[in-house]
């Protein structure tokens, strides 16, 4: 998850353009007469009085290098474009911090924990820990940065995304111009029983022919997880299930029809299906498509709206850059 998903990764764009496939540096530390500890504390930029220290800049630089190390080649000695973009991002984050404080925008601990729980569920804890190690961070530091990005997202949702207005007329126009996008293919709802042997399949066919309930048999005999739902697979369309399943379930004729003669066969066994409902191919009505269209049009405008809002913040801000320190070699 990228909690600040409102802007593209400009570093990736730079790499794609071939401008950041570089490992050399523009200048050495010539003229910087400071110890390592003193240098780390010096500001490479000051944003409305808040400092971005050279140590912060170093960390951000190394994080980006670790992420793109496989794409970076020895092609040039000019790293200025990449270093400038990294500092731009740090300045941007500082402006967002300041605006969130000004507006009193925060996220509570429960929100953070729930968001992290969802992240762990979707990617798995080892993946999150791997990324934390990759960035040379302890988990508490990762959580702190994650929380900061949640605050930024909440700020942008309120001040940018939430202010984008999509008119009814625009949505109707999009719907009329893109009707094929809202075609719904034929769908069927089926129940399913999977067993390991043909003998067991034949046994179940006999039970069904004697009037046994399909869902009850699925719960009792099926070897797949959908047994818990009585074998109910929900609504499916062509191409979602294995081809062996499609060939059977879309050929079932009439509600209650079953493939009692020929099982669908896969590596795990023999499969029996019962047709519960069928929806013919149709087109979503405008009211049904409206929420989806609103989201599409909002997403199309969000980046432009965000950049305009950010430009206004920068215009009001007092931003000082230490160009000499920025162009120095990263120790």
Domain ranges of the chain: 10-162+305-326, 168-180+285-301, 186-280
Q: How confident is the model at residue 100 (pLDDT cuts 50, 70, 90)?
A: very high
Strand, helix or coil for residue 263: coil
Compare 151 and 328 and report the one with higher pLDDT: 151
For the chain, how are helix, strand and coil distributed in percent, rounded to 5? Answer: 55, 15, 30
Give the model confidence (pLDDT) of 239-277 as tens digits.
888 999 999 999 999 999 999 999 999 999 999 999 999
Which of 89-98, 133-142, 286-295 is least confident? 133-142
The pLDDT > 90 percentage for the chain reads 59
Q: How confident is the model at residue 62 (pLDDT cuts 50, 70, 90)?
A: confident
Query: DSSP states of 53-90 as a string?
Result: EHHHHHHHHHHHHHHHTTT--S--S--HHHHHHHHHHH
Give the mean pLDDT of 173-177. Answer: 96
Give the mean pLDDT of 116-127. Answer: 63
pLDDT at site 324? 87
DSSP state of 330: P
From CA 130, how far away is CA 136, in angstroms rounded?
10
Domain 186-280 has CATH 3.10.50.40: yes
> Does 235 score more than 60 pLDDT?
yes
User: 79 near 24, Cβ under 8 Å?
Assistant: yes
- Helix residue spans in 178-316 (DSSP H): 198-209, 214-221, 243-249, 286-316
Question: Could you tell me the pTM of the whole model?
Answer: 0.60
> Does 316 score more than 60 pLDDT?
yes
pLDDT at site 74? 46
> Does 21 score more than 60 pLDDT?
no
| Mean pLDDT of the residues in the chain | 82
> Does 193 score more than 60 pLDDT?
yes
Show the tokens assigned to 213. Answer: 């309930």
pLDDT at site 51? 94
Quick one: which of 94, 86, 191, 202 has its CA closest to 152?
94
pLDDT at site 75? 44
Strand, helix or coil for residue 258: strand
pLDDT at site 330? 66
- Give the angle 294-295-298 at the CA atoms, nearest 5°: 85
The CATH number given to 10-162+305-326 is 1.10.4030.10
User: 94 near 49, Cβ under 8 Å?
Assistant: no
Quick one: which of 87, 90, 107 has its CA closest to 3?
107
> Does 209 score more than 90 pLDDT?
yes
Residue 95 CA to its chain's centroid (Å): 24
Give the model confidence (pLDDT) of 65-99 as tens digits.
766 655 554 444 456 678 888 999 999 999 999 99
From CA 6, how far away is CA 160, in angstroms rounded?
10
> What is each CA distance from 162 to 44, 97, 105, 148, 156, in whole angstroms?
34, 19, 15, 20, 8
């Amino acid at each position: 998850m990228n909690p600040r998903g409102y802007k593209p990764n400009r570093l990736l764009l730079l790499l794609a353009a071939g401008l950041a496939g570089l490992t050399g540096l523009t200048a050495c530390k010539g003229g910087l007469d400071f110890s390592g500890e003193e240098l780390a504390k010096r500001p490479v930029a000051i944003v409305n009085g808040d400092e971005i220290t050279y140590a912060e800049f170093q960390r951000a630089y190394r994080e980006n290098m670790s992420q793109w190390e496989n794409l970076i080649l020895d092609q040039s000695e000019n790293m200025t474009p990449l270093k400038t973009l990294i500092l731009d991002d740090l300045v941007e984050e500082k402006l967002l911090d300041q605006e969130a404080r000004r507006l009193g925008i925060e996220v509570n601990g429960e929100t953070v924990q729930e968001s992290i729980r969802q992240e762990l569920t979707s990617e798995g804890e080892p993946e999150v820990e791997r990324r934390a190690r990759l960035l040379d961070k302890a988990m508490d530091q990762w959580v702190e940065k994650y929380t900061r990005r949640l605050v930024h997202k909440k700020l942008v949702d309120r001040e940018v995304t939430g202010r984008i207005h999509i008119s009814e007329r625009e949505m109707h126009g999009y719907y009329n111009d893109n009707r094929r996008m809202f075609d719904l293919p034929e769908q069927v709802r089926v129940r399913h029983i999977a067993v390991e042997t043909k003998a067991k399949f034949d046994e179940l066919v006999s039970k069904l022919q004697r009037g046994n309930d399909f869902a009850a048999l699925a719960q009792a005999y099926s070897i797949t997880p959908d047994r818990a739902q009585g074998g109910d697979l929900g609504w499916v369309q062509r191409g979602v299930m294995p081809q062996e399943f499609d060939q059977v379930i879309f050929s079932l004729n009439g509600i209650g029809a079953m493939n009692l003669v020929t099982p669908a066969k896969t590596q795990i066994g023999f499969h029996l299906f019962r047709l519960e409902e069928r929806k013919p191919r149709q087109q979503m009505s405008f009211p049904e498509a409206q929420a989806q269209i609103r989201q599409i049009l909002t997403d199309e405008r969000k980046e432009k709206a965000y950049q305009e809002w950010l430009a206004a913040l920068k215009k009001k801000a007092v931003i000082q850059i230490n160009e000499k320190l920025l162009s120095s070699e990263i120790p």
